[in-house]
Amino acid sequence: MRKMSLSSRSKIALLILLDAFFINISYVFSLVLHKLSIHISEYRWVQFLYRFPVLTFILIVTFLIFKIYKVSWKTSSFLDIFKLGVATCIASVVAAFADYFIMKSNLISVKLITTGESINYKVYPYAAYFDGMLITLALIIGSRVFYRMVDTIIKERYRHSESNSNKRIMIIGAGAMGATVLKEIQQGGYRFGNPVVIVDDDKNKSGYSISGVPIEGDCDSIPEIAKKYKVNEIIFCIPSAEPERKKELFNICMSTGCEIKVSPGLDELSNAKDKVYEKFRKVDILDLLSRPEVKLDPDVCKYVTGETVLVTGGGGSIGSELCRQIARYKPDKIVIFDIYENEAFTLKNSLDAKYYGTPEIAIRIGSVRDITRLKEVFEEFHPSCVFHAAAHKHVPLMEDSPLEAVKNNILGTYNTALCSNDYKVKNFVLLSTDKAVNPANVMGATKRVAELIVQHFARISTDTKFAAVRFGNVLGSHGSVIPIFKNQLENGGPITVTHPDITRYFMTIPEAAQLVVQAGGLANGGEIFVLDMGEPVKIVTLAENLIKLSGFEPYKDIDIVFTGLRPGEKLYEELSLEEENANRKTTQNSKIFVTSPIDYDDDLLIEYIGKINKLSPQKTRKFLKALVPNYTGIDEK
């Protein structure tokens, strides 16, 4: 338990003394109200004065039990005031009962001056307890309200001081989240900035205000309102907005040149102690995807529950997210197989910290090129599900080292698929790429051969369901365009784009991982699953948006330089072959479609795979051309 500071103890002691004073004043005044007809000199004060310390003690103890002194009255709510009222009522009732049943000395003889008559009179009428309760409540609540009012006035003066007026905030959304954000900024002493205006599409709210901040205009008027109020920071507080509307609003906000932040959703605040401002984040390029992020059916993924799952390349950006997604479905064990130990070790630690050893996380170091090492791992764990993410994926680097791509992407896939078949794995899923469609580079061609290997094993296997998942560029993965752009921005630019017309399909790392896991549950054998990724995005548009999100103006503050297409790079990518489109059909998830296997010479495939260990770098591209006739990354002369 956290030790209470001296200042906190002092504040509580001060409040107790103040409340004790209010209690005594209240009940004395209440008594006077009920004794105005009796001359004060006739009072037998000694017989009732002892009631005041007893009464004070009862109320203070009740306040302590109700934790009234734990309430921060700077940020108190109606519930806190209600709790204070209940505590005061209970204490007054307890005091009245104590007076009647314990003290039993409430009746005294009093001689009236006007008539000389002696009568028995209650020293402390029970009605006085009720009046005293009301007066006590009024004084104690009034003191808290007065304290809060003074605190607010001081903060308002600070709000308008020169030291803090440079950060003027616009809040988008006058709903529950917007009100929560506004309240927290105000209660934080405006040290995060000065909210000056709220914008909301609901016209019925326009003209009103929240905590003194006006609601003005709709979201389409953001640029004009931002200029009018000299806004330099915008906080987006509509977590329930549809993705397309969010993207539209973010684009409007970016046109203002203001810094843009996003509030969390109310469901992200796990308890009352969570601070909203600690969960603010800057608008990310992911928020500007041209389509909603696809959410997949978790029921389809339950085939991994209670199973041992092997993930090759499990320490990579996609492989590690794949392990995280799989862990959600409670497998018995996840085996991370990777040649690079550092990321695998970090991933294991994070999963163990989150799931406390269930599922069990094991790491085995090795290469998918090494069939002997693979067999050792399969023999040790006997996995029932295999996700093959290990691959060389960097297009320009594979153009320089084509044989390494063949060994890792083709031979590695064959070795892993062979072990999966031999050890009767239930599900095998290959992670492929849209670059495998009509490939123009070595990496794409090797991944197309990997798809053919999967379909080959699907035809010959009786125990394993083999499938592949094909998706576009994964935002945020190692070597992807966004980290490169961000690094260039941090260095002051310029941002380099190969061609002004180059486009790509994009998805997030969690999307890619979810799709892969779901594919294993949907597979019957030999399919290639493809995500409906919406419209392709221009790379230059991504670069421009990233510059704007960083608070700069494209081509003015940060330049964009076009460097020309790199070896093996295409202007656009395709998601499926023409032959595959003829048999394309949707799955039970409308955002995923599946292609059926196309005819291929399996004998030729196996023959060429057998030649890889004797293949030379100079003949690698011809090797790929023989296996993938539509591979265009070779000089035909």
Residues forming the active site: 435
- How many whole angstroms separate alpha carbon 591 and alpha carbon 630? 28
- How many whole angstroms separate alpha carbon 485 and alpha carbon 149? 49
- How many whole angstroms separate alpha carbon 503 and alpha carbon 136? 72
Residues 6+ apart with CB under 8 A from 596: 526, 527, 580, 583
Beta carbons of 408 and 392 less than 8 angstroms apart: yes
Beta carbons of 1 and 41 less than 8 angstroms apart: no
Q: Which helix (H) or strand (E) holds 412?
A: helix 412-422
Phi, psi values for residue 363, rounded to 5°: -115, 135
Omega cis (within 30) before 264? no
Short-list 152, 149, 157, 199, CA closest to 178: 199
Q: Which helix (H) or strand (E) holds 111?
A: strand 107-111
- How many whole angstroms separate alpha carbon 234 and alpha carbon 236? 6
- How many whole angstroms separate alpha carbon 523 and alpha carbon 500? 39
- How many whole angstroms separate alpha carbon 634 and alpha carbon 637? 9
Q: How far is CA 257 from CA 277, 421, 500, in A?
A: 21, 57, 24
Phi, psi values for residue 380, rounded to 5°: -70, -40
Per-position DSSP letters for 477-508, written without gaps between them: STT-HHHHHHHHHHTT-PEEES-TT-EE-EEE
- How many whole angstroms separate alpha carbon 629 and alpha carbon 445? 10
Q: Quote the DSSP letter at residue 535.
A: S
Work out whether the CA dihedral 530, 533, 536, 540 comes out positive or negative.
negative
CB atoms within 10 A of CB 345: 15
Which tokens go with 92? 């007054």
Q: What angle do CA 286, 473, 618 make, to 5 degrees?
A: 155
DSSP H helices, 461-575, are 481-490, 509-522, 539-549
